[in-house]
């Protein structure tokens, strides 16, 4: 049952409000109609809604912001432009772990990643692959924080990342060829095209990436291609998309403190034979039929991944189907809307000899509903429910087989109130859940599958928008029961995947954007976070690999139609080492402050750009798991990238 409790001010909330006001007031004084910001729309609510009217904490990254920053992929865009904390990809690629609200090592398992409303998150300890999504085809990236299990099911505990691709007439007829060279032996070749012929729209892209890597034994190769087809009219729309990706990487491993001090670019001697390769194919179909106030939709998808390393191999196949119906109408000056649907997913894993046999199956079946009412008082109430049945079955090689069946419920209730043309406030309650995945359930203290993780969210938000400024302050608290994480067992001291004692994540988040003039825009994010145990042997102790403070700031200056400069900085506070669960270690993973910049010249046909990251050449690491001896994964040093592209 949902209950409303008062939320005490989270750490740093007064500072956040002060920053929000300091950013907003100058903008209000200088705003002009010519500098107005566009309205923000989100679709991660399973229907297009204006953000200003919805009781959710969301961030939207636009295609123009992605282009201005010159990022290499969607993962980097989310870290730089949305201020999401990221930690190094331990497997030598570009899939940095994205941590929305303080989940440390299990952040990926607590975040659902979507492309055009179709889930690509994994049922294993593998982050969703964003690096192969073609940047030219991205219309926007939506990040919705907090529990969202009502609409997106298990694992949507810390939030949802939704990549929306350009569709139909929004993908203008054009072809673009781009080539880049970068530090550490990197090169990147991309070709994309989008063509519109009447009601038929076609897009395709291909990319080839090569890098020698910042560290020894860290060669990275990636080849990807995808194509999309759309046709329809005002009543009916059909979209298809296929994607194929191959990636291989050498793994340099972790370093001890002594090795790091000697040379942070070296590889661990024990990792010189470590490497992995992944081949993945995806197919997706979106069908939509519109009849008056009703919209009928059917999303279908399939995915296959083959993975092999020097010591392990695995094949994963999944299919999913989501039929749903949306309704929107206006009755006597009251707006009403709802979305109701079914979610089906079947997932299978096989581990071939000589690494297996190890097989696992998972079936999810869910029914969900979300409704909303908009009153003449500019009050919008949103409520939702979900019931999901999950069947997990595994026959592992080194532990006991299990057959697990669970029925889980999620709920949400939110209210958004517009106070004036500039100000709106919202409050939100939510319950979410996740289950241990196939990798977590194979290494537990008692050899049995993990209990479901259950979370309760409370969140308050304030939005302030005047023509040239947009700012948001969010205060949140999430209480977890049976949180799933990797930690020492209180029984024998060995580390397992286990259900932890009760935990609490709480904090404050600030976002602001200011269009100072037609030429200059400023953006920034700031987050203060506390993640602690609230009971048990570690009651009051901080959770590991969680940054209590993070922030970003970016400035874009367009001299004229041809010349643009963007400057950025990312700050990450000190974190506890991955094995410091009892908070006895005096060492911390150090703070980092990384500067980046990009200059671009364009004449609408040709674009030339030079970008630099970690311009201060700061030496550091954002992931480490052994406090006494090391276990460090160094971040890359100063790097530059030169790009030339031509639009046809």
User: Mind listing the pLDDT tens digit for each residue in 400-449?
Assistant: 899 999 999 999 999 999 999 899 999 999 999 999 999 999 899 988 99
- CA 532 vs. chain centroid, Å, equals 22
Sequence-separated (6 or more) residues with CB below 8 Å from residue 114 = 44, 120, 152, 160, 161, 162, 163
State yes or no: cis peptide before 354, omega within 30 of 0.
Answer: yes
Express each pLDDT in 104-133 by its tens digit: 999 999 999 999 999 998 888 888 888 889
**Angle, vertex CA 111, rays to CA 110 and CA 116, nearest 5:** 155
- Three-state secondary-structure class, residue 643: strand
Separation CA 507–CA 192 (nearest Å): 41
Per-residue confidence (pLDDT) for residue 87, from 0 to 100: 87
Other Cβ atoms closer than 10 A to 496: 18
Task: Tell whether the torsion through CA atoms of 257, 258, 263 and 267 is positive or negative.
Answer: negative
Q: Classify each residue of 117-143 as buried b or exposed e, where b means 16 or more C-beta atoms within 10 Å of its C-beta.
A: bbbbbbbbebbbbbbbbbbbbbbbbbb
Neighbours of 348 (CB within 10 A): 16
pLDDT confidence of residue 8: 40
Lookup result for tokens 């772990």: 97
Sign of CA dihedral 476, 482, 488, 490: positive
Beta bridge partners of 487: 496
Pairing of the two strands 111-115 and 159-165: parallel
Closest CA to 84 of 603, 625, 570: 570
- Which residues touch 343 (CB under 8 Å, ≥6 apart)? 153, 320, 321, 322, 364, 365, 366, 367, 368, 388
Q: What is the DSSP string of 602-636?
A: E-SSEEEEEEEESTT----EEEE--TTTEEEEEPP
Using an 8 Å Cβ cutoff, are 433 and 408 in contact?
Answer: yes
Residues 6+ apart with CB under 8 A from 292: none
Cβ neighbour number for residue 597 with a 10 Å cutoff: 17
Residue 180: which residues within 8 A CB-CB, separation 6 or more?
186, 187, 188, 189, 641, 642, 643, 644
For the chain, list residues with pLDDT below 70.
1-39, 44-47, 92, 168-172
28 membership: H or E segment, kind and range: helix 13-30
Token pair listed for 603: 């004449």
Residue 5 has a pLDDT of: 36
What pLDDT is attached to residue 44? 67
What count of other Cβ atoms lies within 10 Å of the Cβ of residue 251?
A: 23
At residue 366, φ and ψ (nearest 5 deg) are -145, 155
Which pTM does this prediction carry? Answer: 0.92
Options 2.40.170.20, 2.130.10.10, 3.10.350.10, 2.40.30.10; which CATH number does 13-647 get? Answer: 2.40.170.20
> E strand or H helix at 479, and its extent?
strand 469-481
pLDDT of residue 2: 32
Q: Which two tokens stand for residue 218?
A: 């860290």
Residue 121: which of 137, 98, 105, 142 has the closest Cα? 98
Cα separation, 462 vs 464, in Å, equals 7
Q: What is the pLDDT of residue 37?
A: 67
Residue with tokens 């109408």: 329
Contacts of 96 (CB under 8 A, 6+ apart): 75, 76, 79, 86, 87, 88, 89
Tokens of 175: 């072809």
240-to-215, 280, 289, 296, 352 alpha-carbon distances in Å: 40, 17, 15, 17, 32
Annotated domain spans of the chain: 13-647
- Tokens encoding 598: 């990009």
Question: What is the reported pLDDT for 22?
Answer: 42
The CA distances from residue 89 to 5, 224, 255, 426, in Å, are: 38, 19, 15, 36
User: What is the predicted pLDDT for the residue at 363?
Assistant: 96
Q: What is the structure's pLDDT at 466?
A: 87
- Averaged confidence pLDDT in the chain: 90
pLDDT value of residue 19:
43
Residue 168's pLDDT is what? 63
Whole-number Å distance between alpha carbons of 112 and 102: 15
**Paired strand residues for 427:** 415, 460
């Amino acid at each position: 049952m949902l209950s409303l409790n008062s939320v005490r001010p989270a750490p740093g909330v007064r500072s956040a409000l002060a920053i929000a006001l300091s950013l907003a007031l100058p903008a209000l004084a200088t705003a002009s109609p010519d500098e107005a910001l566009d309205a923000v729309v989100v679709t991660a609510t399973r229907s297009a809604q204006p953000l200003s009217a919805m009781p959710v904490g969301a961030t939207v990254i636009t295609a123009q912001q992605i282009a201005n920053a010159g990022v290499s992929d969607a993962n980097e865009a989310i870290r730089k432009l949305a201020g999401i904390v990221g930690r190094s990809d331990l497997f030598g690629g570009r899939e940095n772990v994205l941590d929305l609200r303080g989940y440390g090592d299990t952040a990926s398992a607590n975040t659902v990643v979507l492309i055009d409303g179709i889930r690509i998150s994994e049922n294993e300890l593998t982050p969703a692959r964003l690096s192969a999504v073609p940047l030219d085809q991205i219309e926007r990236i939506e990040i919705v924080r907090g529990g969202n299990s009502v609409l997106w099911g298990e694992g949507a505990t810390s939030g949802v990342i939704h990549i929306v691709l350009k569709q139909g007439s929004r993908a203008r007829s054009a072809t673009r060829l781009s080539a880049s060279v970068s530090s550490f032996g990197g090169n990147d070749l991309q070709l994309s095209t989008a063509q519109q012929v009447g009601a038929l729209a076609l897009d395709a892209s291909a990319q080839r990436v090569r890098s020698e890597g910042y560290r020894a034994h860290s060669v990275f190769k990636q080849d990807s291609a995808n194509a999309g087809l759309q046709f329809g009219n005002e009543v009916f729309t059909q979209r298809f998309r296929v994607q194929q990706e191959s990636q291989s990487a050498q793994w340099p491993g972790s370093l001890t403190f002594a090795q790091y001090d000697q040379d942070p670019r070296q590889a661990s001697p024990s990792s010189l034979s470590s490497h992995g390769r992944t081949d993945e194919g995806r197919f997706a179909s979106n069908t939509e039929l519109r009849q008056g106030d009703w919209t009928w939709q059917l999303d279908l998808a399939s995915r296959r991944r083959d993975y092999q390393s020097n010591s392990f191999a695995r094949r994963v196949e999944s299919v999913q189907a989501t039929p749903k119906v949306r309704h929107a109408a206006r009755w006597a000056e009251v707006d009403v809307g709802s979305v109701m649907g079914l979610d089906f997913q079947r997932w299978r894993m096989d581990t071939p000899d000589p690494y297996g046999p190890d097989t696992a199956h998972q079936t999810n079946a869910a029914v969900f509903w979300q409704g909303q009412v908009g009153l003449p008082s500019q009050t919008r109430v949103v409520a939702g429910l979900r019931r999901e049945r999950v069947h997990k079955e595994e026959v592992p090689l080194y532990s006991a087989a299990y057959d697990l069946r669970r029925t889980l419920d999620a709920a949400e209730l939110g209210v958004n109130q517009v106070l004036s043309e500039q100000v709106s406030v919202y409050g939100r309650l939510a319950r979410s859940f996740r289950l241990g995945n196939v990798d977590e359930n194979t290494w537990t203290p008692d050899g049995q599958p993990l209990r479901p993780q259950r979370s309760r969210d409370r969140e308050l938000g304030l939005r302030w928008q005047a023509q040239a400024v947009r700012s948001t302050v969010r205060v949140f608290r999430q209480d977890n029961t049976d949180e799933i994480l990797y930690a020492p067992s209180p029984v024998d001291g060995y580390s397992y995947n286990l259900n932890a004692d009760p935990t609490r994540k709480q904090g404050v988040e600030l976002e602001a954007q200011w269009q100072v003039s037609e030429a200059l825009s400023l953006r920034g994010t700031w987050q203060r976070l506390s993640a602690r145990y609230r009971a048990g042997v570690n009651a009051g102790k901080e959770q590991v690999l969680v940054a209590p403070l993070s922030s970003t700031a970016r400035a874009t200056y367009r001299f004229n139609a041809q010349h643009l400069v963007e400057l950025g900085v990312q700050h990450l506070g000190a974190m506890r080492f991955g094995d410091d669960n009892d908070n006895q270690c005096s060492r911390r993973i150090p703070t980092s402050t990384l500067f980046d910049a990009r200059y671009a010249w364009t004449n609408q046909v040709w674009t030339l750009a030079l970008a630099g990251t970690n311009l201060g050449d700061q030496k550091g690491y954002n992931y480490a798991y052994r406090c006494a001896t090391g276990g460090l994964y160094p971040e890359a040093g100063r790097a530059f990238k030169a790009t030339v592209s031509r639009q046809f």
